[in-house]
Structure 1
């Protein structure tokens, strides 16, 4: 039976699992990869640690088994530059939450370049995307641009970095789904775009080769024999495939460090006029599928903050019972804009707040407000997508926060849609397994739990109005 080693390199941890052809999961391993954030604008990781932790979990999951294929899914946009000769990074990895490219983004919005960017990439002028981070590094590290222009340096998102190491420096490649998140790749022509490269000051020599998502990206010899790497997808695109969202309008949202709503568009791209993103969902056998996406920058981070910085909970699971112990939120709202606000606001300078505090406010209210925030942010994304003509009838959820029954029910109540939670929440890994098998539509989990709206209209409207006031205060 075919065995696929799936590497799932996320923002807070890196994981590996063995899947077989029917997409059932076997051995699994996971290790943390710490974030380094000395200030709100700086979010980094040790790129070498990303690789060593990933290698370790892959070896643990494989356990000497015969591996037939490798699939990779990864945190997107995170930017790494390394020396081609030594294979060593020249700087820490700039994580997708890093905001040091905000000044360039603001300039592009005012001078009209954002329109060019959006037309070619489907993205907006925000430091979330790799091109802004790459520009910051090239302009702020002495001699870096010259070395890149001489062909001495390689740039890649996390998938490229992992493949470079898995193939022992033989392959510098990426797939179309990850390339589409760099702000350097024209998603309509399928090429690195010369005008965009000039706009960001990026030498073409440092860029990886872009391939179909189900290509053979290279050969890995680290797990016994020669094992082909046969699939790559960015994590949110992988979750879309894992959730089997193949029909136009079928949608999922993944609640991890951030929250990412993605709706399938099929082969017809559609630019948003409401601050959503157009992206490549996958490129299989030369056929490009597109998706519309809304990105929330902070979701699970709010729960981590409650645990690690405030000490209100000792683990994420406690939040469900605490939130459920209250009849309502007591008028308390938490906007987790720790690193700015993503869609549909795209405000890099916004910062978080808690409002509506009273003498009767307890820690349970704060915990509940942190959970509710992701539901309200999802409502904002769905409202924007509806204005773009994207009709979503059922929302499929996955990721760590989806384990929380209170949250899933509150989400259904606020968005007014049925929420479907699969039995296996590891949809990013399942999507990577699917693409490694060729990316066909025959696979996918059908076992799910449904959460249907129960809240009355008046209460729902009151809650949403309270959220809108909180957002308005954040944006002041």
Structure 2
């Protein structure tokens, strides 16, 4: 059973100003948003942080830079809105999920850069555990596949390679939410929520506790880990005189994909959303009981609310929007998203070109951490417009694979996919997504659904809103219906599958050569 939440004293005076400040700490940037009593974002500010790629397949972030950015956007968004500090009644958090770090509790300094969820450096640890026959037991306890994507092997790597000089009692481990809460609370609170804990591969989703056996298999002492609470728990208070003179309650803590699920109001069994970010998460709500994942899906805790947990099934795509970043930053194929849209419209169609963006391996439904990206189907007339369109379409093909997997596992046909994230602004991508799915794709009026999900939960915790009121906040904006003929859909999907199979065959050949 989920832990009972102790009685809380942070309910707000009905006459107080009703602004929540929500932090969305994502893979590429940190955003601060002000959410008013009508559940609308009235102001926002973002600061990007540096991406570190020290080796092939390695991805890192500087946690100190991220924390400083959090403080900057908090100060900036309040100043931008012209608000007094007293207008802020609570602060909520949503975050990139599996990114892992370890820091010194005495100095507050991380022992190394954070290892990002995309990073594949711990593939060998995963292979060792598979060779020991532990994969099935790990999946049963955690709902997760044994893969470098998740936090446990990242912490193990940090302990092996960066943590040997300090005694264990000096070390604290966490995901990005834990790091930020610890710092913002004046280094008093080491905590996380159920959604983030469930992504670490050390948390038992049945017992709702850190698992001693898992910790021993991964070699990560439980004493390093944060206390786990519901997403609507009052975690404590901001205690940083550089930010606020008063103590502001911290609540509404949830991983970004689960935050978007709640923000999209996918709160009934069978409802699904797709968040198009650096990677893409396709998440389906499955109710109050665990549905055991198979075939490349993972079981997930959706959230802990009102004294109970709810569950979801998830298909994880490692690289979606990041493929477009690669085409811009590494290849220089476009500069602005307006230029991207103009370029793909010039292409007409992809001319038989497919781009499989396995830059950090393939996620659902394949889960091949060593697979590498490829462009397939080039001919002499192919140009940059075809390659850009193939990059854009690769997002929709991967989501289509994910949705088909969810339909197969649950027996629930998808009638509607609610979508969010930056790439949803591209109408060509959204139409192509609807065409492949043969289902309705719905873009809401609000774009920042992870942040809104966090804010909604925080508002419930602080007595601002009920679930019924929040359901009324959801507004549809654009809807896309499929216009593609069945035979054309089959032809295009067959080409995509052939391209993926070529990538997998290449991976197998390289593995065979040693």
Interval of TM-score (by shorter of Structure 1 and Structure 2):
over 0.9
Between the aligned partners of 2:266 and 2:279, the Cα distance in structure 1 is 20
1:370 to 1:395, Cα distance in 2 relative to 1, 3 A: same
Whole-Å separation in 2 of the counterparts to 1:34 and 1:459: 42
Separation in 2, partners of 1:18, 1:142: 38
Deviation at 1:142, TM superposition (A): 5.5
Does the C-alpha gap of structure 1 residues 317 and 390 become closer, same or farther in structure 2, counting only changes over 3 Å?
A: farther
Question: Which secondary structure state, in structure 2, belongs to the residue aligned with residue 310 of structure 1?
Answer: coil
Of 59, 81, 102, 1:81 maps to 102
Give 1:36's aligned residue.
52
Give the structure-1-normalised TM-score: 0.97
- Aligned residues between the structures: 473
What is residue 171 of structure 1 aligned with on the other side? Answer: 189
Alignment of 1:67-466 (within 5 A): 67-141=88-162, 143=164, 147-148=167-168, 151-221=169-239, 222-391=243-412, 392-438=414-460, 440-442=466-468, 443=470, 444-466=473-495
Deviation, 1:112, is: 2.2
- Deviation string 1:281-336 (CA, Å, 9 cap, x unpaired) is 00012210001001101011111111111111002332222222233210000011
What is the rounded CA distance, in whole Å, between the counterparts of 1:152 and 1:39 in structure 2? Answer: 29
Structure 2 distance, partners of 1:438, 1:159, is 20
5+ residue gaps, structure 1: none
Distance 1:174 1:147 in 2: 23
* Aligned counterparts of 1:136 and 1:46: Cα–Cα separation in 2: 17
Higher alpha-carbon deviation: 17-26 or 258-267: 17-26
Return closer, same or farther for 1:390/1:173 CA change in 2, 3 Å cut-off.
Answer: farther
Q: Alpha-carbon deviation of 1:140?
A: 2.3
- Output the CA distance in 2 between the equivalents of 1:390 and 1:339: 30
CA contact (8 A) 2:93 2:254 kept: yes
Q: CA shift at 1:390, angstroms?
A: 4.7
Q: Secondary structure at the match of 1:86?
A: coil
State how far apart, in whole Å, the 2-side matches of 1:423 and 1:295 are. 25
Offset at 1:58? Answer: 1.1
Q: Which deviates more from structure 2 when the two are superposed, residues 436-445 or residues 101-110?
A: 436-445
Q: Secondary structure at the match of 1:325?
A: helix
> 1:16 maps to which residue?
32
- Bigger shift: residues 277-286 or 388-397: 388-397
Deviation of 1:204 (Å): 1.4
Moved more, 457-466 or 319-328: 319-328
RMSD, aligned α-carbons: 1.2
CA distance in 2, matches of 1:181, 1:174: 11
Q: What are the superposed Cα offsets for residues 231-285 of structure 1, whole Å, 9 maximum, x if unpaired?
A: 1000000000100001101000000100110000110110112110101100012
- Displacement after TM superposition at 1:212 (Å): 0.8
Asked whether the 8 Å contact 2:272–2:285 carries over to 1, the reply is yes
Q: Runs of at least 4 residues of structure 1 off by over 6 A?
A: none
Q: CA deviation at 1:138?
A: 1.4
- Give the match's secondary structure for 2:117: coil
Q: CA deviation at 1:19?
A: 0.4
1:62 Cα deviation (Å)? 2.1
Instruction: Give a deviation string over 1:349-393, Cα, whole Å, max 9, x none.
Output: 001000111111011100100010011101111111122125222
Distance 1:464 1:226 in 2: 54
